[in-house]
Structure 1
Amino acid sequence: MKLVDAFDDYSQFVEIRRDIHAHPELGFDEHRTSEIVANKLKAWGIEVHRGIAGTGVVGVLRSGSSPRTIGLRADMDCLPLQELNQFAHKSTHDGQMHACGHDGHTTMLLAAAWHLAKTRSFDGTVNFIFQPAEEMGRAGAKKMIEDGLFDRFPCDAVFGLHNFTLGHVGGFALNDGAFMASSNTFKITIKGKGTHASMPHTGIDPIAPVLALATALQGLVAKIIPSTERALLAVTQLSGSVAPNIIPDEAWLGGTVRTFSVTALDRIESRLRTLANHIAHSYECEAEVFFRRASPPVINHPKEAHFAAEVMREIVGAEMVDDQFPGVMTAEDFSHMLLARPGCYAFIGNGDGHHRLEGHGEGACILHNASYDFNDAIIPVGASYFVRLTEKWLKSSG
């Protein structure tokens, strides 16, 4: 690996990462975390802007006279999950946990900011974007954009990293197109007429159409989406009566839809609504459909993806970079930034799927797992990537 020399000793950043891990904060509540970020940036001589989309922070660092700009983004929020780890830096907040590695993402970007502030070996402006509320569909990226992010802090391109269960710890994975799926949720309420379960003829049963609809939806994608395109619909929730001897007035089902294109999403939503209404009416019920498009698919821009892959190969070697990684069905609101500006989102390897690098802690690396922990060994790798990315994008003419 050709890591930035300054990261030979990255113990100060391990300390920052573990402190953030021990004090997780939910979306738009990242007051302590954003305070840490702002104070560190300020101490390193970086211009600090706070309060973007509430708790968002942007650090601005300029060097030379070039008008070129770059944006580097990290997310700060945690998940509403009870941590099961017992190490010293486990969460001190019941029901809140950094189970997706945003503590590590924030730390990698802070480490890059620290180094770039010391060396200023670039010509132009780098914007360090620390985003609130990526999790739970809160769309912190979209809200930062609506709050003037790219108007106030122009970016020719924007880049981000997320840890993932790759075969190589510290390796990278990306592609030059559809990288992550859109995230969408639905809830369909079927309204009938409640009665005693022993006298079903006196009411209108909403349970039967809910069950019929659930079966129809589970096979919907295969019927309307070409086999060459990946899409997913999963019914994950069913609810009816609160008692076994009651036919309720209404019952409902819910779930998620993931697609790599808006066209596929439009088709699935349209057919879902049609099925819900037709099946409900066939049972003399009414259907109420709620469909929420939380975030669009993450679509990398080819030019920026190829540029990012070259930087990654420089850092860790070609054998550690998969630039043809197939898109995954997980979602990320960085998609909103890629709709607004060209750029690239990529994965950095946190472990093999169950355990992190030997000797670097006891937590697993499966995301959204109560035993998860970010692998501190990849902090200098991610930071070096951000540093080299900036230096090459904003290459000094001297």
Structure 2
Amino acid sequence: MVSTIPTSNSVIASQLRSDIRKLQPLLVEWRRHLHQRPELGFKEHLTAQFISQKLQEWNIEHQTEIANTGIVATINSGKPGPVLGIRADLDALPVQELNEVPYKSIHDGIMHACGHDGHTAIALGTAHYLATHRQDFSGIVKIIFQPAEEGPGGAKPMIEAGVLKNPDVDTIIGLHLWNNLPLGTVGVRSGALMAATERFSCTILGKGGHGAMPHQTVDSIVVAAQIVNALQTIVARNINPIDSAVVTIGKLNAGRAFNVIADTARLSGTVRYFSLDYQDYFSQKIEQIISGVCATYGANYEFNYIPLYPPLINNQEVADLVKSVAESIVETPAGVVPECQTMGGEDMSFFLREIPGCYFFLGSANAEKKLAYPHHHPRFDFDETALGMGVEMFIRCVEKFCS
């Protein structure tokens, strides 16, 4: 449910400098152009072309085709100072859009259902502003346009390609438009903001047979059912109750006929947790349970475990900087949400493992305009007033960090 904090577009606009207010119509135009042309991870060729074209128009130095479709723009103030990184993601989701809006996706089965089109527009607006206001900061700002956040993950290959080097980035920040918070709010905290994301799959190898003669079989469905129940005890009886973790079985397939005992059953799921103390724990514990249950019932198994993204952990000092910037923009004390967390994952976490930084949520829901559908929903959309607020947040962070 989206909390309700009274706000208005005029209140937000009053907190934005005039040059950013003038950018707002362009931010909306860019976002809608991108929304109409969504692309999946590592296939963001039209998106990258659009970004590069804008950067060329503004005479901003940039590199293209990093980790396939990634781009890094470098804006040098011409004065000595720190190097600040700003990250935005580019990709969309394999979702069929149900919104009836003029900027509806023209790519069948693909949709910007998570706000990445807005992230890209905000990053472009930030680049445009900084390129025309180099006198207002010192050092260098590197804006990283990253592919494939939704999967399989573009942050790690971009880091491996050297985007944090030459010049070396001292600190990195990023934002996520967030429909779990209303427009005019900012969710920021130090420590874990988003969870580790890991996935697993298991095939139970039993012995099939006639439904009337179960004594001649090893029923893979019964074994799978026992495993599903047993896996729920990991969090309930093995994880410290003060810590947060989730084990979810999202898929279970078995059987082909009502009177045949299935010889195989396949299940898959996801694991989420905040604490680095649980790295490697779940993979070992899940397989231990699967092995034990299979041994009890005389089945065999094949197990596969894939750690996707580590927990996203914000640096205390950088989070404090972002929080102070947010407090200078939002109108009410409740506008800064310090304990905003989610068990969702984000590969911004790879950047934050390398250098100190902060990722934060920018409230974008507006229930009165029916812009409050959750992320990844086929009717997801957000209040575009948040775009200008996102640029203002980034610019004030630049000016405070690169002073």
The TM tier, using the shorter chain, reads over 0.9
Deviates more, 1:21-30 or 1:6-15: 6-15
Q: Deviations over 1:152-189 (max 9, x none)?
A: 45211000000113444131011011111111111121
Answering whether residue 227 of structure 2 is matched by residue 219 of structure 1, we say no
Answering whether residue 393 of structure 2 is matched by residue 385 of structure 1, we say yes
Partner Cα distance (1:33, 1:243) in 2: 47
Partner Cα distance (1:292, 1:166) in 2: 28
Q: Answer whether contact 1:221 1:268 (CA < 8 A) is retained.
A: no
- Supply the RMSD in Å over aligned alpha carbons: 1.6
Choose the corresponding residue for 2:83, options 37, 46, 69: 69
List alignment gaps of at least 5 residues for structure 1.
Answer: none
Aligned-pair CA distance for 1:248: 2.6
How many residues are paired up? Answer: 388
Q: Deviations over 1:31-76 (max 9, x none)?
A: 0001111111121111010011100001001013214100001000
Partner Cα distance (1:117, 1:365) in 2: 35
Deviates more, 1:193-202 or 1:248-257: 193-202
Answering whether residue 16 of structure 2 is matched by residue 8 of structure 1, we say no
Aligned CA distance change for structure 1 residues 30 and 110 (closer, same or farther; 3 Å): same
Q: Which residue of 2 aligns with 1:128?
A: 143
Partner Cα distance (1:364, 1:295) in 2: 27
Aligned-pair CA distance for 1:320: 5.1
Partner Cα distance (2:95, 2:181) in 1: 26
Q: Deviations over 1:333-374 (max 9, x none)?
A: 10000001100000000115xx3x63xxx5444111100113
Q: Deviations over 1:203-262 (max 9, x none)?
A: 322111100010111232011011111111112211111222332321122111100013
Partner Cα distance (2:215, 2:97) in 1: 49
Q: Which residue of 1 aligns with 2:402?
A: 394
SS of residue paired to 1:129: strand
Q: Which residue of 2 aligns with 1:189?
A: 203
Q: Which residue of 2 aligns with 1:90?
A: 104
Q: Which residue of 1 aligns with 2:344?
A: 330
Q: Deviations over 1:293-347 (max 9, x none)?
A: 1100000000100011111112224625435224211111100000011000000
Partner Cα distance (1:167, 1:214) in 2: 33
Partner Cα distance (1:192, 1:129) in 2: 49
Q: Answer whether contact 1:313 1:320 (CA < 8 A) is retained.
A: no
Choose the corresponding residue for 1:54, options 51, 62, 68: 68
SS of residue paired to 1:257: strand
Choose the corresponding residue for 1:374, options 382, 388, 391: 382
The amino acid that maps onto 1:11 is P
Q: Deviations over 1:252-274 (max 9, x none)?
A: 22111100013224333222111
Aligned CA distance change for structure 1 residues 368 and 153 (closer, same or farther; 3 Å): farther
Partner Cα distance (2:177, 2:167) in 1: 26
Q: Which residue of 2 aligns with 1:348?
A: 362
Q: Normalising to structure 2: TM-score of the pair? A: 0.93
Aligned CA distance change for structure 1 residues 245 and 291 (closer, same or farther; 3 Å): same
SS of residue paired to 2:269: strand
Q: Normalising to structure 1: TM-score of the pair? A: 0.94
Choose the corresponding residue for 1:266, options 265, 280, 295: 280
Q: Which residue of 1 aligns with 2:58?
A: 44
Q: Percent identity?
A: 38
Partner Cα distance (1:237, 1:313) in 2: 43
